[in-house]
């Protein structure tokens, strides 16, 4: 249990999910799973981004916390400072090893990520924070995840981005990430309301937002069925459908929502589940 806590709280768990999704993309491109520096790049970039968000949260609420409470949290967050430092070193090494075209593809995505993660302080720089744009937060998250885990492997494999199969893959990944991100917005409704952030759950309500999430997974299943039946890659289709149906169960079973690991363990784990299932199928049947 302590290991699980460490993996989740350090964001290594979600970084592994990003890395595995990139390997899933290799299989979708009819390649065998193989190591490339961009895998390390994706892993450490995810680790930096998610831990940086926690660092920003600490800075944001620093002044509103009682001194003793802040000191306690500061001691707790020291491990994250060390982890961010380690992540930056790993990311720097990966940049030095990565393909130049991979890096050029990553730059605009990284810029979007940075603008999304800017602290919400009252200053002229706050206008650059993409979170302030109504309803865009969830779309940015889904876009960044899709672009990073699909385009980097595509560029490294020298595959033309304008191929229909690449667009199918991008849309499928977008829909899946979009679906599992909505519950986080539902959970954060009160905090987003206080921060004056406009989100889909706040606008439509919890029930309709959840319906959109499930509908997104339904669209995902339809697209993947068309895509992989036409391409003849049914060994990829089955794991994708299993992951989507499992995620629908995660969204609908109320008892799961009260568990400690529902959001950062189960929902984030849906990404890892999909990737692992596809990787196993790819290794077994390719």
Share of the chain above pLDDT 70, in %: 88
What span, in angstroms and rounded, lies between the C-alpha atoms of 88 and 285? 37
* Residue range 256-279, pLDDT digits in tens: 988 889 999 999 999 999 999 999
Go through 7-38 and write b for each residue having 16 or more CB atoms within 10 A of its CB, e for each that does not: bbbbbbbbbbbbbbbbbbbbbbbebebeebbb
Tell whether the model's pLDDT for residue 127 goes beyond 70: no
Which tokens sit at 144? 């960044």
Give me the residue spans of the domains in the chain. 2-285
Tell whether the model's pLDDT for residue 21 goes beyond 90: yes
Q: Is the distance from CB of 163 to CB of 154 less than 8 angstroms?
A: no
Tell whether the model's pLDDT for residue 65 goes beyond 80: no
What span, in angstroms and rounded, lies between the C-alpha atoms of 256 and 249? 9
């Amino acid at each position: 249990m302590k290991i699980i806590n460490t993996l989740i709280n350090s964001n290594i768990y979600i970084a592994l999910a990003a890395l595995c999704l990139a390997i899933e993309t290799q299989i979708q491109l009819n390649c065998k799973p193989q190591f490339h520096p961009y895998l390390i790049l994706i892993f450490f970039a995810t680790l930096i981004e998610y831990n940086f968000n926690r660092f920003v949260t600490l800075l944001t609420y620093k002044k509103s916390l009682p001194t003793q409470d802040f000191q306690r949290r500061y001691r707790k967050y020291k491990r994250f400072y060390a982890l961010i430092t380690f992540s930056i070193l790993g990311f720097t090494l990966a940049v030095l090893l990565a393909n130049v075209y991979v890096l050029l593809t990553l730059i605009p995505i990284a810029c979007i990520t940075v603008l999304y993660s800017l602290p919400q302080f009252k200053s002229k720089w706050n206008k650059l924070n993409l979170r302030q744009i109504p309803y865009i937060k969830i779309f940015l998250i889904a876009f960044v995840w899709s672009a990073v885990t699909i385009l980097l492997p595509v560029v490294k494999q020298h595959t033309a981005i304008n191929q229909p199969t690449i667009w199918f893959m991008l849309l499928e990944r977008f829909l899946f990430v979009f679906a599992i991100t909505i519950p986080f917005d539902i959970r954060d409704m009160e905090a987003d309301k206080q921060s004056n952030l406009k989100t889909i759950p706040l606008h439509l309500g919890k029930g309709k937002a959840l319906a959109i999430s499930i509908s997104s997974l339904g669209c995902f299943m339809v697209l993947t069925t068309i895509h992989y039946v036409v391409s003849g890659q049914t060994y990829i289709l089955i794991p994708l459908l299993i992951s989507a149906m499992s995620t629908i169960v995660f969204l609908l079973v109320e008892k799961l929502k009260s568990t400690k690991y529902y959001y950062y363990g189960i929902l984030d784990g849906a990404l890892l589940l999909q990737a692992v299932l596809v990787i196993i199928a790819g290794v077994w049947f390719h």
